[in-house]
Amino acid sequence: MSLPTLDVRPFACPITYVRTKLKLDALAPGERLEVRLRGEEPVRNLPRSAEEDGHRVVSLEPDGEGGYRLLLEKGAGGASPWPRS
């Protein structure tokens, strides 16, 4: 089975995490998602938001194309309420 990938490079926050969250919600706990992102704000905020929602950041590495590859593992907590209050 191939690793699901989501490219949010064309988008700005908070849309980067909204799209990531929707994709994570479709995965089973323990499954992984590769997210392609670009820009200082998404690189800082997207991993933090994922961890706050109970997911694990496996890695965050430059992709050699001016962006980053973020590898997330879905947490066992299931879908968290959206939007946060």
pTM: 0.85
Burial class (CB in 10 A: 0-12, 13-18, 19+), 61: exposed
Report the CATH number that the domain containing residue 13 is assigned in CATH.
3.30.110.40
Task: Enter the tokens of residue 60.
Answer: 């965050």
Q: Is 82 domain-assigned?
A: no
Q: Is 27 domain-assigned?
A: yes
Which structural domain range is residue 60 located in? 5-73
pLDDT of residue 2: 84
Which of these is catalytic: 13, 27, 60, 71? 13
Q: Is 80 domain-assigned?
A: no
**Catalytic residue status for 42:** no
Task: Count the domains in the chain.
Answer: 1
Q: Which of these, 85, 14, 5, lies nearest to 50 by C-alpha position?
A: 14
| Distance (Å, whole) CA 8 – CA 60 | 14
Q: Express each pLDDT in 10-19 by its tens digit.
A: 999 899 999 9
Q: Express each pLDDT in 48-81 by its tens digit.
A: 999 999 999 999 999 999 999 999 999 986 444 4
pLDDT of residue 45: 94
